[in-house]
Amino acid sequence: MIIIMKPNASSEAVEKVTNLIQSKGLQVHLSKGDEVTIVGVVGDKTRLHGSNIEISDGVDKIVNVTESYKLVNKKFHPENSVIPVGNTVIGPGTLTVMAGPCAIENHDQLLSSAYAVKKSGATFLRGGAYKPRTSPYSFQGLEEEGLKYMKEAREATGLNIICEVTSLRAMETAVKYVDMLQIGARNMQNFELLKEVGKSGIPVLLKRGLAATIDEWLNAAEYIISEGNPNIVLCERGIRTYETATRNTLDISAIPVIRTKSHLPILVDPSHATGVRAYVEPLSKAAVAVGADGLMIEVHPCPSCALSDGPQSLTFEQFDTLMKDLKPYMDLAGRK
Ligand code: PEP
Ligand code: MN
């Protein structure tokens, strides 16, 4: 439930309403716009029965939020969020490009990738140290050793660092090294991990689950924000459909749909969405055109030698060309 205050409501009126809500054991989430203040109520709203909040001074109207996610809901927070991460921000007006190898394989592979993606204009280095592989016999990642290379890459290039965590143990190690945690598609509904990431307060990229609806995805984000961490960025990475020509099907409509339902920024990962290098460029352009706040792209010094996801990884040259080709799309979309 949200309480929309009148444009001229005094701060005393807002305080009176918030005190009343808190006195019933409910949480308040205040959103102060230029003209209107919105008071979000989190918790069991039946506790407010009989308190006549609608006739309290300065109250314009009460709107019931029917969705189960509240704090990530646009109705609670009509302005799009800007998420500070490392030395930058993710959100409206910007286009954040995160690039790098699927997995951190060795020191030189990661460092050369970092220099290359930085030169082409990326602001984040991605690289998996804990790899959630379909087969237990595939390369599982370098774990902390890989994170040390990530840290070195940040010191050398100034890039922000993002790394996926697949367990609480991985998270406890990764927080010592990274600017942003990534929750992968396979862990989108690992609620215990989501709660811990929420408690950590560290910015998090939450990928959409392989077969998750948009509402399930936003509920996963609600798990993180309800533990006190509002620094969440969503990432559409394709969903399972009957189509086999691509690894997954990029749900391009998810971007405008998320825009209407949530204030959180959304990135697109065309690499995992398609599994095919040749489709990364057209879908990156589509993502920017449709209003995405950024891209996550796999880049490798030698895609054919990659230990994971080589077929979808771009070479340094291909990534550089893509970044140049994106410029007119960014200008049209009003993104820097
Ligand atoms: C990744 O980004 O490395 C990854 C495994 O992606 P996803 O969780 O989207 O499959
Ligand atoms: Mn990958």
DSSP assignments along 81-123, one per residue: P-EEETTEEESTT--EEEEE-SB---HHHHHHHHHHHHHHT-S
- Kindly identify the ligand whose nearest atom is closest to the C-alpha of 188: 1
Residue nearest atom 3 of ligand 1, based on CA coordinates: 102
Q: What is the pLDDT of residue 250?
A: 98
Residues 2/38, Cβ–Cβ less than 8 Å? yes
Task: Give whole-number Cα distances, 279 to 99, 246, 270, in Å.
Answer: 16, 9, 8
- Kindly identify the ligand whose nearest atom is closest to the C-alpha of 299: 2
DSSP tag of 304: G
Query: pLDDT tens per residue, the chain (336 residues)?
Result: 999 999 989 999 999 999 999 999 999 988 888 888 999 998 888 899 888 999 999 999 999 888 989 999 999 888 999 999 999 999 999 999 999 999 999 999 999 999 999 999 999 999 999 998 889 999 999 999 999 999 999 999 999 999 999 999 999 999 999 999 999 999 999 999 999 999 999 999 999 999 999 999 999 999 999 999 999 999 999 999 999 999 999 999 999 999 999 999 999 999 999 999 999 999 999 999 999 999 999 999 999 999 999 999 999 999 999 999 999 999 999 999
Q: Does the beta carbon of 206 sit less than 6 angstroms from any atom of ligand 1? A: no
Q: Does the beta carbon of 74 sit less than 6 angstroms from any atom of ligand 1? A: no
Residue 25 Ramachandran class (φ > 0 left, ψ -120 to 50 alpha, else beta): left
Q: Which amino acid is at 247?
A: R
Q: Does the beta carbon of 132 sit less than 6 angstroms from any atom of ligand 1? A: yes
Residues 109/143, Cβ–Cβ less than 8 Å? no
Query: Which ligand 1 atom is the nearest neighbour of the CA of 238?
Result: 9
Distance CA 128, CA 141 (A): 7
Three-state secondary structure call for residue 288: helix
Q: Does the beta carbon of 184 sit less than 6 angstroms from any atom of ligand 1? A: yes
Query: Which ligand 1 atom is the nearest neighbour of the CA of 132?
Result: 5
The Å distance, Cα 67 to ligand 2 centre, comes to 32
- Kindly identify the ligand whose nearest atom is closest to the C-alpha of 133: 1
Distance CA 33, CA 154 (A): 36
The Å distance, Cα 313 to ligand 2 centre, comes to 8
Bridging pattern class, strands 37-42 and 2-5? antiparallel
Q: Which amino acid is at 115?
A: Y
Q: What is the pLDDT of residue 315?
A: 98
Q: Which residues of 277-287 are buried (b: 16+ CB within 10 A; e: fewer)?
A: bebbbebbbbb
Q: What is the pLDDT of residue 141?
A: 96
* 237, 268, 274: residue to mutate for ligand 1 pocket, most atoms within 8 A of CB: 237
Q: What is the pLDDT of residue 33?
A: 82
Q: What is the pLDDT of residue 286?
A: 98
The Å distance, Cα 324 to ligand 2 centre, comes to 23
For 38-43, which contacts have Cβ atoms below 8 Å and span 24 or more sequence positions?
A: 38/2, 38/3, 38/4, 38/5, 38/76, 38/77, 38/78, 39/2, 39/3, 39/5, 39/14, 40/1, 40/2, 40/3, 40/70, 40/71, 40/76, 40/77, 41/1, 41/2, 41/3, 42/70, 42/71, 42/226
Bridging pattern class, strands 88-90 and 83-85? antiparallel
H-only helix segments in 125-253: 144-157, 168-174, 191-200, 214-225
Burial (CB count within 10 angstroms: exposed 0-12, middle 13-18, buried 19+), residue 136 = exposed
Q: Does the beta carbon of 58 sit less than 6 angstroms from any atom of ligand 1? A: no
Q: Does the beta carbon of 272 sit less than 6 angstroms from any atom of ligand 1? A: yes
Q: What is the pLDDT of residue 178?
A: 98
pTM: 0.94
Closest by Cα among 72, 83, 70 to 3: 70
Q: What is the pLDDT of residue 61?
A: 93
Task: Give whole-number Cα distances, 18 to 25, 79, 167, 184, in Å.
Answer: 11, 21, 37, 37
Residue 216: HSE in the Cβ half-sphere, 13 Å Cα cutoff:
14
Q: What is the pLDDT of residue 234?
A: 99
